[in-house]
Each structure stands twice: as structure tokens, then as C-alpha cells.
């Protein structure tokens, strides 16, 4: 922990330094963006709207609740299975969210809270979305990478 002095000569415990804060903020932001990328990479090649309908299970089409949409944690809690029909939804969601969480943390540490950070995050989202779509197209069917 870092101790910092203020102008009135009292000491304040600063519980987290700038790098740790950037890592945490970047990981959370990246995981949230990863959830968005999984939706984009699933819907765009199928020419589905990215606005409507809201997030749902690709198998049973049940609308997902907010507790089902928490990046990484909801996948781990349900062991990758749909809460409603029990089908395995595939590793793509977990892998993409992990990749974006790591990339987000790296971007936050590298660029700080600057305009360059927003540009980097936009490029990361676009790049990972394209890679996921290309990997899916290269597989033997549209749903092989999904399951």
C-alpha cells in the first residue's frame, strides 16, 4: 500500500495504485466488451439484428436475464450451460470474454485514460470480432465453433 501526504499534513492510505486500478478497470471493461463481441460475432454472419431481440439462448431462444449476462461469472457458475434448457452453449463466449478482458487490461495499462485508449478498445473489438467470424466460417459449419 502507498502512503500519501496531503496539504494539511495528514496521512491518507491510498489502497490501490494507478497500475492496479488500470488492471481492474481494464479487465472489467474488457469482459463487458467481450460479451458484446460474442453477440456481434454470432449475429453479424447470420444477418441478425444486434438490437432486437435481446440476448437469448441460441438453442431454446429463452431471453436471458441480467444475472445470465455477467461476463465470465455466469458462464463459470452454469458450467457453460443454458440456465433454462441445459444445453452447452460453447466455449466461444468464455474464450472471447477472457481475451477481451486481458486485452482491455493491457490497453488500460498502456494508454491510461486517454483518447488513445478509446481508439485501442475500438480496434480490439473490431479485430476480435473479425477473427471470431473468420474462425467460425473456416470451420465445417456455422455452429461448429459455437458448440
Residue 81 located in a structural domain: yes
Task: Return the pLDDT at 139.
Answer: 79
79 within domain boundaries: yes
Q: Is residue 6 part of a domain?
A: no
When divided into structural domains, the chain yields a total of 1
Q: What is the pLDDT along the chain (147 residues), one digit of tens a residue?
A: 444 545 544 445 455 568 899 999 999 999 999 999 999 998 999 999 988 888 888 889 899 888 888 888 888 888 989 999 999 988 888 999 999 999 999 999 999 989 999 999 999 999 999 999 999 888 755 555 454
The pLDDT, as a whole number, for residue 67 is: 87
How many other CB atoms sit within 10 Å of the CB of residue 109? Answer: 16
Task: Show the CA angle centred on residue 71, arms to residues 69 and 77, nearest 5°.
Answer: 80
Does the residue 106 lie in any domain? Answer: yes
Contact 76/139 with Cβ under 8 angstroms? no
- Name the residue range of residue 114's domain: 17-138
In-domain check, residue 4: no
For residues 121 and 101, is the Cβ–Cβ distance under 8 A? no
pTM over 0.85: no
Is residue 7, in this structure, part of any structural domain at all?
no
What pLDDT is attached to residue 17?
62
Tell me, yes or no, whether 93 lies in a domain: yes
Amino acid at each position: 500500500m502507498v502512503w500519501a501526504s496531503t496539504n494539511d499534513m495528514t496521512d491518507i492510505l491510498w489502497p490501490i495504485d494507478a497500475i492496479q486500478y488500470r488492471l481492474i478497470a481494464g479487465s472489467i471493461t474488457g469482459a463487458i466488451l467481450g460479451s458484446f463481441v460474442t453477440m456481434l460475432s454470432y449475429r453479424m454472419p447470420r444477418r441478425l439484428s444486434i438490437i432486437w431481440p435481446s440476448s437469448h439462448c441460441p438453442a431454446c431462444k429463452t431471453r436471458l436475464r441480467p444475472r445470465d449476462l455477467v461476463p465470465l461469472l455466469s458462464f463459470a457458475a452454469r458450467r457453460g450451460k443454458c440456465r433454462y434448457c441445459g444445453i452447452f452453449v460453447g466455449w466461444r463466449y468464455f474464450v472471447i470474454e477472457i481475451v477481451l478482458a486481458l486485452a482491455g487490461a493491457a490497453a488500460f495499462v498502456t494508454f491510461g485514460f486517454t483518447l488513445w485508449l478509446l481508439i485501442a478498445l475500438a480496434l480490439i473489438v473490431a479485430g476480435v470480432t473479425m477473427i471470431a467470424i473468420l474462425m467460425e466460417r473456416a470451420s465445417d459449419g456455422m455452429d461448429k465453433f459455437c458448440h
